[in-house]
Amino acid sequence: MKFIPLPFAVLGCSLFLFTIEANAASQTQIDRGEYLARIGDCTGCHTTEDGQSFAGGLGIDSPFGTIYSSNITPDKQTGIGNYSRDDFAAALREGSLPDGTHLYPAMPYTAYAKVTDEDIDALYAYFMEGVEPVDNEPEKTDLSFPFNQRWGIGLWDWMFATADTYEPNPDQSEQYNRGAYLVEGLGHCGSCHTPRGLFFQQKAYGAGDDHFLTGQTLGVWYAPNLRGGGEGDQGLQGWSEKDIANYLATGRNVHSGVVGEMISVVQHSLSHLKDEDLTSIAVYLKSLPRSTEAPSDDEAPSVQDKTDENKDTSATLASAKVDIDSGERLYLDNCNACHFTNGKGASWVFPALKGNSLVVAENPDGLLHVILAGAQMPSTPKAPAKLAMPGFGWRLSDKEVADLATFVRSGWGNDGDSVTADQVAEVRKGIPEKVLRDSAPNMVKE
């Protein structure tokens, strides 16, 4: 056996320890980056349904045409393998690439602008070392003039992209600041929940502005007002912090079940967050006062406390009179089994229709889509069951769906406007025949 002189042994040992230390630190950073990528929902836009993780090519609809996401794996030819840390930071926070190209704001850099240097470092470590390189050249985005003039985005950025790294508000709690950082920054909740202006710019990027998170319509879906503060029971005002955290973690809670564009957000992003982060988000949302200024507050009708009317609706439905109107009858025949005569559904399983943001939204398209094509909750780690509602488009006429929707929008104290058969026909046209057929209950499927 060879004798190692003591000083060398010590040096060898500490070198050994040092290497372990260095690797361990960077693994922690890669893991942190992976978690941050979940919060930013990078996969939601950069992975196609059957494509490899982060290889890009998902088409994102915009009012100007389809924009295809980039390959953000560390592949050197088709991905971002040649990006330095600063190139990566500029793409994320400013939407600009090393060759001077401006990204379309379909990539939410206007929100990511709030991300701290430390988090950028971790994300960079993850994308360079924790993600498999994939050789994939996504389809090129080809918008019509003038939207194909990418230099125009530079001008747009100059006018509208105003956000800077998030500065904690010293008057608020640590929890609030964490929530604000996540919602306004990486979580980019405002990209769907904040109304857009004339130039498609988000009207606000943070808590300081009354327009922030006051809701907006996205295609057929309505992304509701998320300002949960103040007195009242409009939307999140009627939800506790725990209700909000539960919804984000599982797509369901005692009031509601997720549908539409929000399904993917819950499935790919929010259901993977730590409880303390979800609670921080809830604390922040509950702190935002319901704004009176924001125009979309009128657009998002409320449920007034009309206890008497509420009783009336339930009583009429329960009385089984023969002369009830067509909407009520259709409700009893088709919906009552799950959502009940009181419209309160069953906690965690069947959403309440009374006071539901989707049901009373100014634009009824989301409601009509659910009645026609049904809905399915996502499977999440904490609530794996994919509870589903069958669609009714295969058996109810446009007129019947209109009567039904009018009834649920006005029953139990809801105050949504009535719906016409033409509106139903319009939504039906946008749903592929196969989706309507497949949404029918199992027993009628061939």
Interface of this chain with ligand HEC, residues 385 to 424, rule: CB under 6 A: 387-390, 392, 404, 408
Please, which residues have CB within 8 angstroms of residue 335's CB and are 6 or more apart in sequence? Answer: 353, 404, 408
DSSP string of 76-135? TTTSSTT--HHHHHHHHHH-B-TTSPBPPTTS-HHHHTT--HHHHHHHHHIIIIIS----
Q: At 208, which amino acid appears? A: G
Site for ligand HEC in 266-285 (CB under 6 A): 270, 281
Binding to ligand HEC (CB under 6 A) within 78-117 occurs at 80, 91-92, 97, 103-104, 106-108
| 236 sits near ligand HEC (criterion: CB under 6 A) | yes
Binding span for ligand HEC by CB under 6 A among 14-22, 38-46, 299-307, 425-433: 38-46
Residues 367-386 that bind ligand HEC (CB under 6 A): 367, 370-371, 375-377
Report how many residues bind ligand HEC under the rule CB under 6 A. Answer: 76
Binding status of residue 35 toward ligand HEC by CB under 6 A? no
CA distance 244 to 253: 8
Q: Which of 89, 262, 360, 373 binds ligand HEC (CB under 6 A)?
A: 262
- Cα 365 from chain centre: 18
- CB within 8 Å of 362: residues ≥ 6 apart: 217, 222, 298, 299, 300, 301, 416, 417
Name the residue among 37, 49, 45, 19 with its Cα closest to residue 130. Answer: 37
Contact between 221 and ligand HEC by CB under 6 A: the answer reads yes
**Alpha-carbon span 29 to 23, nearest angstrom:** 10
Binding ligand HEC (rule: CB under 6 A), the pick from 166, 350, 394, 412 is 350
> What sign does the dihedral 71-75-77-81 (CA atoms) show?
positive
| Rounded least distance, CB 248 to ligand HEC, Å | 6
The residue within the footprint of ligand HEC, chosen from 90, 120, 122, 223 (CB under 6 A), is 223
- x/- letters, 140..169, toward ligand HEC (CB under 6 A): -x----------------------------
Q: Which of residues 422-441 bind ligand HEC (CB under 6 A)?
A: none
